[in-house]
Amino acid sequence: MFHKEGRKIILIATSLTVIIFLLSHKFVSDIIWLEKGIQIVTLVFLILVLQFFRNPRRITAINANHIIAPVDGKIVVIEEVFEEEYFKDKRLQVSIFMSPLNVHVTRYAASGTIKFSKYHPGKYLVAWHPKASTENERTTVVIETTVFGEILYRQIAGAVARRIVNYAEEGMQVVQGEDAGFIKFGSRVDLFLPLGTKINVNLNDKAIGAKTIIASK
């Protein structure tokens, strides 16, 4: 199953693969190693595109007392920080880094009402750079939950990513685990939670979007 954000790219990549296969057979079929080499490289490229846009079906055990991972990836930050855009006070930050090999679907970490949703143009520093959270292209979304109050998540573009897709709009009612957007080609997502929230993960843990419990009450 593939994400809808990848349909155009998948169609283009598939078409190019077919064209290259046909052209290589027509013009270099007498040089077997060259023909096969071109076809193998093209096929590998298509496989990478397909795996990047995969959208595995995830069944979330909805629980208002849990904050779940919004994306797949590695936990790279767990610390108390000053969140300066929306809360303007101290929060617990949990950051998940996604490599190009991870599933890049963003999912809602909790159910609730979207209170704030804003896109910021910016730089394309590597996603693990300390300033990526405030200087890179990003979107900031705040969800009002029944148990945790307001929580914030931020989709951040990386050095390769060039498009963030965000479905959250102010006033929307959202459901934990449902599709919240997509970040193309490498990125990071930051969660900002109230101080005192119990964190259920450790640095370098592998998170599974819509499955891993990041925090709980």
Q: 113 and 145: one domain?
A: yes
Where does the pLDDT of residue 63 fall: very low under 50, low under 70, confident under 90, or very high at 90 and above? very high
Average pLDDT over residues 182-200: 89
Q: What is the DSSP string of 101-147?
A: TS--EEE-SS-EEEEEEEEE--B---TTSTTHHHHBSEEEEEEEETT
Q: Is residue 122 over pLDDT 80?
A: no
> Cα(24)–Cα(34) distance, rounded to whole angstroms?
8
> Cα(72)–Cα(165) distance, rounded to whole angstroms?
16
Q: Residue 8 corresponds to which tokens in the numbers above?
A: 């155009």
Least confident of 56-60, 95-99, 109-113: 56-60
Q: Is residue 31 part of a domain?
A: yes
Catalytic residue among 24, 95, 111, 187: 187
| Residue 159 neighbours by CB distance under 10 Å | 17
Q: 121 and 178: one domain?
A: yes
Look up the CATH number of the domain holding residue 127. Answer: 2.70.70.10
* Domains identified in the chain, total number: 2
Where does the pLDDT of residue 102 fall: very low under 50, low under 70, confident under 90, or very high at 90 and above? confident
Q: Is residue 158 over pLDDT 60?
A: yes
To which residue do tokens 């990526």 refer? 132
Phi-psi region of 22 (alpha: psi -120 to 50; beta: other; left: phi over 0): alpha
Q: 39 and 76: one domain?
A: no
Q: 21 and 127: one domain?
A: no
Residues found in the chain: 217
Least confident of 19-23, 107-111, 132-136, 202-206: 132-136
Please give the mean pLDDT across all residues of the chain: 88
Q: Is residue 162 over pLDDT 70?
A: no
Q: 116 and 178: one domain?
A: yes
Q: Is residue 114 part of a domain?
A: yes
> Cα(142)–Cα(156) distance, rounded to whole angstroms?
15
Q: Is 24 a catalytic residue?
A: no
Q: Is residue 90 part of a domain?
A: yes
Q: Is residue 60 part of a domain?
A: no
Residue type, 5: E
Q: Can you give the residue range of the structural domain that contains 155?
A: 66-216
Q: 163 and 100: one domain?
A: yes
Q: Residue 33 corresponds to which tokens in the numbers above?
A: 């190693």
Short-list 128, 120, 130, 114, CA closest to 170: 114
Q: What pLDDT score does 153 carry? A: 97
Sign of the Cα torsion 121, 127, 133, 134 reads: negative
Q: 105 and 200: one domain?
A: yes
> Cα(95)–Cα(92) distance, rounded to whole angstroms?
10
Q: Is residue 59 part of a domain?
A: no
Q: 38 and 139: one domain?
A: no
**Residue 138 · residue 155 · CB < 8 Å:** yes
Residue type, 168: A
Q: Is residue 58 part of a domain?
A: no
The whole model's pTM is what? 0.82
Q: What pLDDT score does 127 carry? A: 58
> Cα(123)–Cα(132) distance, rounded to whole angstroms?
8
Q: What pLDDT score does 37 carry? A: 86
